[in-house]
Structure 1
Amino acid sequence: MGSKRKVLVVEDDPTIAESIAVRLRAEGFEVDLAHDGPAGVAAAESGRPDLLVLDVMLPGFDGLEVCRRVQAARPVPVLMLTARDDETDLLVGLAVGADDYLTKPFSPRELTARVHALLRRVERRASTDGVLTVGDLEVDPVQRRVRRGGDEAHLTPIEFELLAYLAARPRAVQPRERLLAEIWGWGEAAGTRTVDSHIKALRRKLGADLIRTVHGVGYALEVPA
């Protein structure tokens, strides 16, 4: 029992919440449920889940506020669910610390694939033995800490994975599709705005000059020496 990964599902529709829980339990996860914003934050604090499946629209306060509060206390991967294919919602969700999103309706198979992929990416450690240093940027894959110019930055789990991947290949242009496949485990290119949003967050936290955009292709890490 102790080896089971724990997922907290915060969803106010009991039918959807239960169907997600049934599917994840069948996949071997331990699942807790909460049905509104305050209960979601409380359950995340007490249960210390390995991952959150979090609906955007919730009673009490919304999923964006839940995500903000949970991430402030402890970095944890978050998969957001939204009923609307609204780019603003999705980008705001990613900005407050969500790692991935699904638009309803979605298949249970797609949900579990995303959950497994997120956990795999978070658990994976960079193959390097030491700290990655590019210019004044330091990425420590063992302690999962990032500093630029000596100042520490607080990154979400997926932001860290993305930065570590780019830092291990400095100045090499990485296509969005490759980043999606390597970091998120996606086999198709439908989520390029997910990559763009996380790059934006890294620039905001670590400096606008950190990552170069190669238009029509992808991104490269180019920290001045």
Structure 2
Amino acid sequence: MVERRVAVVIEHDGGTRLALAEALRRSGFSVQAAASGAEGLGSVRKHNPDIVVIDSGLPDFDGFEASRRIRTFSDAYVIMVSGRTDEADALMAFEAGADDYLTKPVRPRELRARARAMFRRPRSIRYDGAGHHSSPAPSGTGRAQASPADRFDFVHRGLNLHEGTRRVVIDGAPVALTRSQFDILLVLMENGRTVQTKADLVRRLRNEPYSTDSFVSAGEERAVEVQLSSLRKRLGDSSRRPRWVETVHGVGYRMTP
């Protein structure tokens, strides 16, 4: 018998909580529901879920703090839901360790689609006690030729990336990235000066092949745009004078020369 995946829904509004839980049950999840941050954290610790859906506006502490706390002990996929559409809120969610951000009212079909996409991506990130993403010690844009103990898959202007251990180092110092930030950076470094559109990045986050022409919503493209902004912040990069990630206006993104 195949073991069912587990989801935890942390949402203060009863009607929304029921709707989110039902959408996930229809996708085959065993769902645990909680109405507060404290109750939700306890449920995550107890049930070790595969995915957690968190409301940004909880009664005891907000969803951003809940996500940060979850990231100190769990590698579950985290989707933040919010009634606010401000870019700043989405950035805060990603900085707190969320893998995705959805605005209310959440459409059940979209929630299920986002959840399916997440499970096509690696889940090999560990978390330290401070809530930072970490990996086992590893090993122009291009394959690095270093010693086996310190080999990186891609190196570009002091930015080093190792795909297998999901490790990023800048000028010798490790950088903590969320799962989505790492995946976006990996795609960009793989392709160097070839421009990646927002739709290209969305499809890669879904783990779809380049040849696909599947539908990409405006919301998904906007989420990638916010993720890119968050990635730049983590790297200490500038959109105006980029060291690594360059915006090609009206087209997409690529690595700098």
Distance change (3 Å), C-alpha of 1:200 and 1:73: farther
Q: What code does the residue aligned with 1:103 have? A: T
Amino acid at match of 1:192: E
For residues 21-74 of structure 1, the C-alpha deviation after alignment (integer angstroms, 9 at most, x for no partner) is 223223222222221112222333333322211111111001111112222444
CA distance in 2 between counterparts of 1:40 and 1:109 reads: 24
Aligned to 1:137: 159
What is the number of residues matched between the two proteins? 219
- Residue number among 177, 190, 195 corresponding to 1:168 in the alignment: 190
Residues 4 and 168 of structure 1, relative CA distance in 2, 3 Å threshold: farther
Percent identity of paired positions between Structure 1 and Structure 2: 37
Conserved? CA contact 2:53–2:79, under 8 Å: yes
| Amino acid paired to 2:71 | Q
Task: Single out whichever of 159-168 and 203-212 deviates more from structure 2.
Answer: 203-212
Shift in alpha-carbon separation, 1:79–1:59, aligned structure 2, 3 A: same
Change in Cα spacing, 1:97 to 1:106, as seen in structure 2 (3 Å) is same
**TM-score with structure 1 length normalisation?**
0.84
Q: Which residue of 173, 180, 191 corresponds with 1:151? A: 173
Task: Give the drift of 1:152.
Answer: 1.6
CA separation in 2, counterparts of 1:68 and 1:197? 19
Q: 5+ unaligned residues in a row in structure 2: which ranges?
A: 125-142, 144-150, 209-214, 238-242
Counterpart contact for 1:176–1:192, Cα < 8 Å: yes
Q: How does 1:210-225 map to 2 (within 5 A)?
A: 210-222=244-256
CA distance in structure 2 between the aligned counterparts of 1:169 and 1:4, rounded to whole angstroms: 37
CA separation of 1:3 and 1:143: change in aligned 2, threshold 3 A: farther
Matches within 5 A, 1:9-158: 9-122=9-122, 131-135=152-156, 136-158=158-180
Give 3-state SS (helix, strand or coil) of 1:191's partner: helix
The structure with the largest alpha-carbon Rg is 2
Q: Which residue among 230, 235, 239 is the counterpart of 1:201?
A: 230
Displacement, 1:137? Answer: 2.8
Aligned-residue CA RMSD (Å): 2.6
Residues 160-214 of structure 1: CA deviation (Å, up to 9, x unaligned): 2111111211222111122122215762233333222222222222231221111
CA distance in 2, matches of 1:58, 1:93: 14
The one-letter code matched in structure 2 to 1:11 is E
SS at match of 1:44: helix
Distance 2:193 2:42 in 1: 43
- Identify the residue that residue 178 of structure 1 maps to in structure 2: 200
| Secondary structure at 1:88 match in 2 | helix
Q: Larger helix proportion, structure 1 or 2?
A: 1
